[in-house]
């Protein structure tokens, strides 16, 4: 087991062998969770870039096509409903 130390600035350096084993490069972001006996660091997984062509139609809507105006009206109504519950 390797050890590390907390710096005066609150920084912890992960040992090179750990970074290499997980393929963590500079700039990787982590969530920090309190645990019963310390903390838990989890890398935040970045989502790969997606293209519209890859995801269009993925929600499975099977009704008639909606116009942009109908979609705008539905969005506005949803926002108003959330505001009214507010």
Q: What tokens does 73 get? A: 């009206």
What percentage of the chain exceeds 70 in pLDDT? 99
pLDDT tens digits along 39-50: 999 999 877 788
As to burial, measured by CB atoms within 10 angstroms (0-12 exposed, 13-18 middle, 19+ buried), residue 10 is: exposed
Residue percentage of the chain with pLDDT more than 90: 66
Q: Count Cβ atoms below 10 Å from residue 36 Cβ, excluding itself.
A: 4
* DSSP assignment of 38-57: EEEEEEPPPPPP--HHHHTT
pLDDT of 38 higher than 90 = yes
CA-CA distance, 49 to 29, in Å (whole number)? 18
pLDDT class of 7 with cuts at 50, 70, 90: very high
Domain ranges of the chain: 52-85
DSSP at 1: -
- Tell me: the pLDDT tens digits for 49-75? 888 877 777 777 778 888 999 999 999
């Amino acid at each position: 087991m390797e050890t590390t130390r907390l710096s005066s600035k609150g920084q912890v350096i992960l040992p090179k062998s750990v970074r290499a084993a997980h393929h963590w490069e500079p700039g990787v972001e982590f969530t920090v969770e309190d645990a019963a006996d310390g903390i838990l660091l989890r890398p935040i997984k970045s989502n790969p870039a997606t293209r519209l062509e890859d995801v269009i139609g993925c929600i499975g809507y099977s009704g008639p096509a909606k116009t942009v105006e109908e979609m705008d009206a539905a969005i506005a109504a949803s926002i108003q409903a959330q505001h009214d519950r507010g």
